[in-house]
Structure 1
Amino acid sequence: MESKASPTDLKREKNHHAATAGGRAAGAYKNVNNLYNQERFHAAQGHGFAAEQANDLADQLHGKKVHKGLGDDNAKDGPDRMVNGQWIQAKYYKDGARAIDACFRDNGKGALRYYDQNNEPMRIEVPNDDVIYNKAVERMEAKIKNGQVEGVTDPAKAKEIVQRGGCTYRQARNIAKAGNIDSLKFDATNGAVVAASAFGVSAIVTFATGIWNGDTPQVAAKRAACCGIKVGGTSFVVAVLSSQLLKAGLNSAMVAGTESIAAVLGPRACAIIINAFRSGAPIYGAAAMKSAAKLFRGNAVVAALTVVVCSSFDVADIVRGRISAGQLVKNLASTITTVGAGSAGWVGGAALGTMIMPGVGSIVGGLIGSMSGGVAAGALTNKVVGHFIKDDAEEMQHIIQKQVEAMCVDNLMNNDEVKELVNGLSGKLSGSKLKDMYVSKDRERFVEKMAAPLLDEILAKRPKIKGNIDDEIEQGLISLLNELAEKGESVEDTGASEEDC
């Protein structure tokens, strides 16, 4: 059993880096966009932006077609949301009458401000509180009676124009803050959407490369599901933690640093980067630099949390004695470079893809950039760090090799039996099993116990020797001596080898 990695193992490791980097980057892309949009929660009317996003998310989960980012262009009297083609203006006021007054010119005394693409009154979305909604409908009825809504004369139409939002006023305010149930539910729902995207990318890449490398569909699917769950789970945890930290004010501490980075890059580079990530009309100049700084803050938080979450399993293992300090350093270095290079690769690839083919090019370019960057960084780090730190797995495989050699000699095993034993052990040697072996006080005994059932099964297949062995050997000796006596030859003259005699 060779302790050195085979070409197939190296190819699998490379594919694992690609699938992991691609899935993490896809999740990070969505997480960063969410954080970018949620920075508005800190504004004076932050709960209104929170309500818009919460209602978008609820409609999306109910299978409705949601057009995101409408409010980002700050178009005068434009819609905040669009669902199934319907333009919606969100007004999350504590007082329903004030919410409707805000939709009319001259502090509520003039004409309605909001009309859709068909010149029909936009839907006015108010909090899902009975008192607030009822007051809003009453005020809209009064406006219609006063002739302030062009093209509408029937007060009963007020119930069509005013609609309930998906959350209450209190829930909207809670969503914009950290550390409460409503906020956590919103972030967890967002995290589930992010995790699904990360799972899909990593699972598809793992499945495809597995098939191309000769795996059966069943084995490839199992590997794909395992990789997808790990990457998707990480993205989910990062989504919740990053959003909660942002709402708690972490972004405020990073403003100066990220704006300095944007200043170094300049307005042109910032415009290329930010327009690859945001929806709506492209932005340039100072606006692009400010938006790019917000994007960098999100990227920094998501990348840092991804490293922390991924490394937490290694930290738990070293506490339990399942890996060495050197292995922890090696794993941490690989995680940092893979995450960093994957994130940078997505930004660069998305920007380049947007320049070539806006829209689809952003996603395709980002995915290719993240996978190639993650693979290259992971391979380089392992190569460099590997010169100084030996893998725990390599050390364990060396012990296994020595024990297998001893078993083969002790049990007089032939080539086919040795191959069967090695293949059986290979199927049992997962990363978790090697960590259990590392923490074992008697690693040689650990290998013996792991191999014992396989060895018993192999030896049980040997043909049974029937009859009296001593009698058989005695008859063989008599037969040989008779032949020699008849021919007048010695044992050497018969040409029998040591294996025959």
Structure 2
Amino acid sequence: MKHYCLHCGAELEEERIVCPKCFSCLYLEMLDSKLFTSAAGVLTARQLELNTQWMKYKCGINGSAGHGFAAEDGNAMSDILKGHNVEFSGKDNSMNGPDRIVDGIKIQSKYCINAKKTVNAAFDSATGVYQYEGQVLEVPKDQYADALLEMEKKILAGKVPDYSDPKDATKIVQCGDYTYKQAVNLTKAGNIDSLVFDAKTHTITAFSAFGISFAIKLCLLMMSCRNIEEVKDSVKLSFLSGLQNGTITLSSGIMTSQLLKTVFGRNFAATTQRIVNHAVDNAYQCELGKKIVHGLAKNILRKDIYGCTAKNAAKKYTKNFF
């Protein structure tokens, strides 16, 4: 049965899928769109999971909760964009472990309402001794000068192991890239600090989406190229396609992050989490469900895991997918 090219209207023979006139292929273009849509969705979800702790952004009365995690994410993202090697070591919530490791330096981030409380948060409440030995204390940008004075007092009081000179406070205290107020703003939607941070976060995703879209489009177009001029045109079209899809990914990523910082977004995420938890727990009750969960967890973590660990991995992946 004959059919027609949707681009130029040329009549095509029954088995022909590439138009001999304009060399377009509807099937390849559909494949291109589906591949990019799937890849962009996975990238956005993975970016939120890896580089932010958005589920902990629960800003209470006067910003009493959540902004500490936001400060960790904001300062870590700043380090990444500056070209530093950042290891997110604090998301396992290990006792007295660093929040992140930057170029081999262990960093503990504390963001409280004033410098005294910020510094005191790094000392054991029972013994009064600095509890993050070998780690640099990162403090809000607007509290840095006062935090140095507070740390000098702690050193003079003998509360910081291996330090006796008050001038060494500069070796322990590090100035963060965000003020306390900015950290609180990061947990909320609709303000400049929050929008800029989300833009920085999803710029990485956008570059990845650009590369994926460019590669897919170029491969598909090269299949119908007949000469060097058509190859050049294919590269140009692929670049424009990548630019378009990267821009879409950036804007959609920002909107998603902003939505998740609203009451509706958090409630939606919490509801989704409960549904996923219930579904995975029920599926795990039968042998087939166990095999599916174990297989999914193995593909995610690249190793054989079972029981609660496998269920948690499956829940996290499924939650991100939705």
Which band: TM-score by shorter chain? Answer: 0.7 to 0.9
Contact 1:20 1:227 in 2 (8 A): no
The aligned residue for residue 101 of structure 1 is 120
Shift of the 177–133 alpha-carbon distance from structure 1 to 2, 3 Å rule, reads same
State the AA in 2 paired with 1:16.
Answer: E
Given candidates 260, 263, 268, the residue that maps to 1:253 is 268
Residue 65 of structure 1 pairs with residue 79 of structure 2: no
Given candidates 28, 31, 42, the residue that maps to 2:58 is 42
Shift of the 91–61 alpha-carbon distance from structure 1 to 2, 3 Å rule, reads same
Matched position secondary structure for 2:160? coil
Superposed CA offset, 1:286-316 (max 9, x none): 576567555544433xxxxxxxxxxxxxxxx
Residue 167 of structure 1 pairs with residue 178 of structure 2: yes
Superposed CA offset, 1:321-350 (max 9, x none): xxxxxxxxxxxxxxxxxxxxxxxxxxxxxx
Shift of the 282–239 alpha-carbon distance from structure 1 to 2, 3 Å rule, reads farther
Contact 2:158 2:164 in 1 (8 A): yes
Contact 1:133 1:164 in 2 (8 A): yes
In structure 1, how many angstroms separate the alpha carbons of the residues matched to 2:66 and 2:102? 21
How much has 1:100 moved relative to structure 2? Answer: 1.5
In structure 2, how many angstroms separate the alpha carbons of the residues matched to 1:55 and 1:124? 13
The aligned residue for residue 18 of structure 2 is 8
The aligned residue for residue 238 of structure 1 is 252
The aligned residue for residue 223 of structure 1 is 237
Matched position secondary structure for 1:163? strand
In structure 1, how many angstroms separate the alpha carbons of the residues matched to 2:68 and 2:295? 29
Superposed CA offset, 1:245-270 (max 9, x none): 11003231353444333333346555
| Structure 1 spans left out of the alignment, 5+ residues | 116-120, 301-501
Shift of the 29–296 alpha-carbon distance from structure 1 to 2, 3 Å rule, reads same
Shift of the 163–65 alpha-carbon distance from structure 1 to 2, 3 Å rule, reads same
In structure 2, how many angstroms separate the alpha carbons of the residues matched to 1:207 and 1:42? 43
How much has 1:184 moved relative to structure 2? Answer: 1.1
The aligned residue for residue 26 of structure 1 is 39
Percent identity between the two aligned chains: 30
Q: Superposition RMSD on alpha carbons, in Å? A: 3.0
Shift of the 271–31 alpha-carbon distance from structure 1 to 2, 3 Å rule, reads farther
Matched position secondary structure for 1:7? coil
In structure 1, how many angstroms separate the alpha carbons of the residues matched to 2:157 and 2:99? 26
Given candidates 207, 216, 222, the residue that maps to 2:218 is 207
Superposed CA offset, 1:85-130 (max 9, x none): 11110001121121111112135x4322113xxxxx211111110x
How much has 1:175 moved relative to structure 2? Answer: 0.8
State the AA in 1 paired with 2:267.
Answer: S
In structure 1, how many angstroms separate the alpha carbons of the residues matched to 2:210 and 2:247? 8
State the AA in 2 paired with 1:64.
Answer: H
Contact 2:75 2:176 in 1 (8 A): yes
Structure with the greater alpha carbon radius of gyration: 1
In structure 2, how many angstroms separate the alpha carbons of the residues matched to 1:90 and 1:167? 11
Contact 2:115 2:146 in 1 (8 A): yes
Point out the structure with the larger helix share: 1
Contact 2:128 2:159 in 1 (8 A): yes
In structure 1, how many angstroms separate the alpha carbons of the residues matched to 2:31 and 2:111? 44
How much has 1:201 moved relative to structure 2? Answer: 0.7
State the AA in 2 paired with 1:110.
Answer: G
State the AA in 2 paired with 1:260.
Answer: I
Contact 1:195 1:232 in 2 (8 A): yes
Given candidates 128, 147, 164, the residue that maps to 1:110 is 128
The aligned runs of 1:10-409 (5 Å cut-off) are 12-36=25-49, 37-42=53-58, 45-68=65-88, 70-106=89-125, 109-115=127-133, 121-129=134-142, 132-214=143-225, 216-249=230-263, 250-266=265-281, 273=296, 289=311, 292-293=314-315, 295-300=317-322
Matched position secondary structure for 2:138? strand
Contact 2:300 2:313 in 1 (8 A): no
How much has 1:153 moved relative to structure 2? Answer: 2.0
In structure 1, how many angstroms separate the alpha carbons of the residues matched to 2:298 and 2:114? 37
In structure 1, how many angstroms separate the alpha carbons of the residues matched to 2:299 and 2:261? 25
Shift of the 2–13 alpha-carbon distance from structure 1 to 2, 3 Å rule, reads closer
How much has 1:56 moved relative to structure 2? Answer: 1.4
Matched position secondary structure for 1:42? coil
In structure 1, how many angstroms separate the alpha carbons of the residues matched to 2:132 and 2:106? 9
In structure 1, how many angstroms separate the alpha carbons of the residues matched to 2:305 and 2:150? 38
The aligned residue for residue 6 of structure 2 is none
State the AA in 2 paired with 1:71.
Answer: G
Contact 1:23 1:232 in 2 (8 A): no
Q: What TM-score does the superposition give when structure 2 sets the normalisation length?
A: 0.78
Give the length in aligned residue pairs. 290
State the AA in 1 paired with 2:28.
Answer: N
State the AA in 2 paired with 1:58.
Answer: S
Shift of the 254–146 alpha-carbon distance from structure 1 to 2, 3 Å rule, reads closer
In structure 1, how many angstroms separate the alpha carbons of the residues matched to 2:313 and 2:294? 9
In structure 2, how many angstroms separate the alpha carbons of the residues matched to 1:26 and 1:3? 34
In structure 2, how many angstroms separate the alpha carbons of the residues matched to 1:35 and 1:282? 25
